[in-house]
Amino acid sequence: MPMNAADHVRGVYLITDGVPRSDPALRAYYGPLLAAGVAVLQYRDKGDDQAQRRREAMLLAALCRRQGVLFIVNDDVDLALYSGADGVHLGREDAPIAGARARLGERVVIGVSCYGSLERAERLAAAGADYLAFGAAYPSATKPGAPRASLETLAAARQRFACPVVAIGGINPDNAAPLVRAGVDALAVIHGVHGARDPVAAVRRLAELMRQAL
């Protein structure tokens, strides 16, 4: 495992909202969120504008370095390499762990989606995954048809695996406490922060929940 993976993948794991922004607007939006208590920021953008994606990833990588936040790129090993990201997150249809590791190096954090499957998690942990994400914990606006990961699955994963366990899907400050009690190391959030009336306050509430548990 990369030296700091287990230490860094703990707390609030914020995923970007995919809204295109200018450089000043990106800094103005994400800077306060990172400062409010984000531990990990994942850049997730499914658009086809490669120049925009590169620009945004580079800027967010720099912001994260200044704040001491782990910067992860979703799905795209090329973009992770280009931006100097701390890691990459891989789903079912993405590159295998071995290929990503060969390109990005041993010290880069590789996270994986396990959905609701402990068996998949076993295989990916054995293949070298540095953290395991389970979800959807709750119904998700981002992925309405996503398989669910029960509290029992999350608790079992925390007992079974040495690497960090991340819960994702439909999480917000009002429903996160049961996931924290199940023992997850990090809460991955999209709409629960970006859709909040006060996104900075939402991050602070989630960060406080995790601080109390950890």
Which residues belong to the active site? 44, 113, 143
- Which helix H or strand E contains 134, and what residues bound it? strand 131-134
- Which helix H or strand E contains 157, and what residues bound it? helix 151-160
Q: What whole-number distance in Å separates Cα of residue 156 and Cα of residue 159?
A: 5
DSSP state of 13: E
Count of CB atoms situated within 10 Å of the CB of 200: 14
Q: What whole-number distance in Å separates Cα of residue 200 and Cα of residue 194?
A: 9
